[in-house]
């Protein structure tokens, strides 16, 4: 197979548009393409632990079905493209564990909305990726199935909770993957693993079949090497779904439509809170260089303030655990999932099942959530947090009167060592200091590679836009990636 200098040995380095071109030109079959990535998974996954479940037979069956679509002349842009699913998306006939012992034996009887969309296009699922248990974590160390390792340095975390997806894309075990973002769980691991990821406006992608952590914050999104890839995937994932009461019924749009528009005249807001003493010097240097590149591309910058950003962490860790304590009540050992093997009566079964089935971080958040929702504390904590959430959203509304997009570091540091913060929950939570506010406001946010910090670990540039401005954000990201090659650099894997 030869095309534009590509061979089977380097097909894993190509973007989705290039892979689609090879498939449509019949330079490679869908089955051959899937086999290439399955071989890489078999070789690399024992090292990085990015996948929980891989079913080669099922994947190759989907690939053969995609080949049949090509033979019948019914193939579309993404037909035959392989991708991985974060193990929070229900996938018919596949284990869907959410990284938890509680669901370690759960085989989903139905597909999530985004999985349905991918199947409708003839895309090929390569497997289910590892994640922090029930998406609760910032390092992918809370998974029942063990920690994921960062392919840039195996002694470091990949970020979380979508760390398995980020690692899989970065290590070229798949060209794209799904993730979910409750407080930064697409953007933070994308930054730490040197890939691109986007969380769209809340409600743009259906949450049907996406196992809930905090329902008013959770949002699915794509993870891939480039903004171009993200736009193509967002076209597939977005859309109204009547089964999700929070899904927004609005006309569909082509998220690739503005990719090639010049950036001259784009105004970038630089919040002083994102460039304070809290960000490490090596990260700050990389972000400053990225902003300088944007100025070369014709952008203007304006300094602004998001004064309530400092409240994001405490507000989030009241609201998210409160919603989690309610959502996770369904895992009781009665209907499905794990059940304690020995118990005296029904109440004992509930207690032992939940004590044995949930990990420490999940238990911590359930306890916090139950506390803030309890009588006597609901008004003092939960209601006050909701009021502050409104103030945080208003800060952004005011900021977007002055700029088109907001930029800054995705994370205050590059990837930290495995185990470094696992004993200090507060320090772990502060990893998401720059990402949480976008979730609280329901705004779209993304992270793209912007260079490297000390030790050669990736730095992510965060782009936040106003509601439904994903196409504008993707344009800003794509033009930067046309001028730089950070997103093209693979980890050494040596």
At 193-231, the pLDDT tens digits run 999 999 999 999 999 999 999 999 999 999 999 999 999
Q: Are strands 267-271 and 458-465 parallel, antiparallel or unpaired?
A: unpaired
In Å, what is the CA distance from 227 to each residue of 45, 333, 409, 448, 466?
25, 42, 17, 8, 18
Do the beta carbons of residue 49 and residue 130 sit within 8 Å?
A: yes
Three-state DSSP at 273 gives helix
Helical segments of 3-55, H only: 16-24, 30-48
Residue with tokens 């803030």: 372
In whole angstroms, what is the distance from residue 162 CA to residue 65 CA?
A: 28
pLDDT at 276: 86
pLDDT at 294: 98
Rg for the chain, CA atoms, rounded? 21
pLDDT at 5: 42
In whole angstroms, what is the distance from residue 117 CA to residue 140 CA?
A: 27
Contacts of residue 416, Cβ cutoff 8 Å, sequence gap at least 6 = 139, 156, 157, 431
Give catalytic residue positions.
Answer: 86, 161, 185
In whole angstroms, what is the distance from residue 16 CA to residue 20 CA?
A: 6
- Token code pair at residue 227: 């903004």
In whole angstroms, what is the distance from residue 36 CA to residue 173 CA?
A: 9
Do the beta carbons of residue 256 and residue 231 sit within 8 Å?
A: yes
Q: Terminal CA-to-CA distance of the chain, rounded, Å? A: 26
| Burial classification of residue 119, based on how many CB atoms lie within 10 Å of its CB (0-12 exposed, 13-18 middle, 19 or more buried) | middle
Q: Which H helix or E strand runs over 53?
A: strand 51-53
Three-state DSSP at 354 gives helix
* Cβ count within 10 A of residue 32: 17
| Torsion of the alpha carbons at 467, 274, 321 and 195, rounded to the nearest 10 | 70
Sign, CA dihedral 158-223-60-18, equals negative
Q: Which H helix or E strand runs over 221?
A: strand 220-224
Do the beta carbons of residue 337 and residue 462 sit within 8 Å?
A: no
Q: Are strands 51-53 and 458-465 parallel, antiparallel or unpaired?
A: unpaired
- Per-residue pLDDT of 320-375, as tens digits, reads 999 999 999 999 999 999 999 999 999 999 999 999 999 999 999 999 999 999 98
- List the chain domain ranges: 8-264, 311-386
In whole angstroms, what is the distance from residue 289 CA to residue 475 CA?
A: 19
Q: Which pLDDT tens digits describe the chain residue by residue (494 residues)?
A: 333 344 566 899 999 999 999 999 999 999 999 999 999 999 999 999 999 999 999 999 999 999 999 999 999 999 999 999 999 999 999 999 999 999 999 999 999 999 999 999 999 999 999 999 999 999 999 999 999 999 999 999 999 999 999 999 999 999 999 999 999 999 999 999 999 999 999 999 999 999 999 999 999 999 999 999 999 999 999 999 999 999 999 999 999 999 999 999 999 999 999 998 889 999 999 999 999 999 999 999 999 999 999 999 999 999 999 999 999 999 999 999 999 999 999 999 999 999 999 999 999 999 999 999 998 899 999 999 999 999 999 999 999 999 999 999 999 999 999 999 999 998 999 999 999 999 999 999 999 999 999 999 999 999 999 999 999 999 999 999 999 999 999 999 85
In Å, what is the CA distance from 276 to each residue of 273, 355, 408?
5, 41, 11
In whole angstroms, what is the distance from residue 472 CA to residue 172 CA?
A: 27
* 455-479 as b/e: b if 16+ CB within 10 A: eebbbbbbbbbbbbbbbbbbbbbbb
In Å, what is the CA distance from 41 to each residue of 49, 78, 173?
10, 21, 5
Which of 130, 113, 403, 49 lies closest to 243, judged by CA? 113
pLDDT at 354: 97
pLDDT at 454: 92
| 446 DSSP assignment | E
Q: Identify the CATH number of the domain defined by range 8-264.
A: 3.90.1300.10
pLDDT at 69: 98
* 92-106 as b/e: b if 16+ CB within 10 A: eebbbbbbbbbbbeb
Which of 231, 229, 187 lies closest to 459, judged by CA? 187
């Amino acid at each position: 197979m030869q095309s534009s200098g590509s061979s089977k040995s380097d097909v894993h380095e190509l973007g989705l548009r290039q892979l689609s071109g090879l498939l449509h030109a019949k330079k490679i079959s869908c089955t051959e393409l899937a086999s290439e990535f399955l071989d890489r998974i078999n070789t690399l996954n024992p090292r990085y632990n990015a996948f929980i479940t891989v079913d080669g037979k099922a994947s190759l069956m989907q690939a053969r079905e995609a080949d049949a679509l090509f033979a019948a002349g019914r193939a579309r842009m993404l037909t035959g493209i392989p991708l991985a699913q974060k193990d929070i998306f229900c996938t018919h006939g596949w284990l869907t564990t959410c990284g938890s012992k509680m669901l370690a034996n759960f085989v989903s009887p139905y597909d999530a909305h985004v999985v349905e969309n991918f199947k409708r296009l003839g895309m090929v699922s390569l497997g289910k990726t590892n994640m922090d248990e029930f998406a609760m974590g910032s390092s992918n160390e809370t998974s029942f199935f063990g920690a994921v390792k960062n392919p840039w340095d195996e002694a470091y975390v990949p970020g979380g909770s979508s760390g398995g997806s980020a690692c899989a894309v970065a290590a070229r075990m798949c060209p794209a993957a799904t993730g979910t973002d409750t407080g930064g769980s697409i953007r933070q691991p994308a930054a730490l693993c040197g890939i691109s990821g986007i969380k769209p406006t809340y409600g743009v992608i259906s949450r049907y079949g996406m196992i809930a952590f905090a329902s008013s914050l959770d949002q699915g999104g794509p993870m891939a090497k480039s903004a171009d890839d993200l736009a193509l995937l967002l076209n597939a994932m977005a859309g109204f779904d009547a089964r999700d009461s929070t899904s927004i019924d609005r006309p569909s749009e082509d998220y690739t439509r503005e990719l090639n528009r010049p950036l001259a005249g784009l105004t970038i807001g630089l919040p002083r809170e994102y460039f304070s003493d809290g960000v490490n010097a090596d990260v700050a240097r990389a972000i400053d260089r990225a902003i300088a590149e944007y100025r070369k591309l014709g952008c203007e910058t304006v300094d602004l303030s998001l004064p309530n950003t400092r409240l994001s962490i405490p507000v989030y860790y009241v609201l998210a655990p409160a919603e989690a304590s309610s959502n996770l009540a369904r895992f009781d050992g009665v209907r499905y999932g794990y059940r304690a093997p020995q118990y005296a009566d029904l109440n004992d079964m509930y207690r032992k099942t939940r004590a044995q089935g949930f990990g420490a971080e999940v238990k911590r958040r359930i306890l916090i959530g139950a506390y803030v929702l309890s009588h006597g504390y609901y008004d003092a904590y939960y209601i006050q947090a909701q009021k502050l959430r409104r103030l945080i959203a208003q800060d952004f509304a005011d900021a977007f009167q002055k700029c088109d997009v907001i930029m800054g570091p995705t994370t205050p540091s590059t990837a930290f060592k495995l185990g470094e913060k696992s004993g200090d929950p507060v320090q772990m939570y502060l990893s998401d200091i720059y990402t949480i506010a976008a979730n609280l406001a329901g705004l779209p946010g993304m992270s793209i590679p912007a260079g490297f910090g000390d030790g050669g670990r990736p730095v992510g540039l965060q782009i936040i836009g106003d509601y439904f401005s994903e196409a504008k954000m993707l344009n800003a990201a794509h033009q930067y990636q046309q001028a730089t090659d950070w997103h093209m650099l693979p980890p050494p894997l040596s």
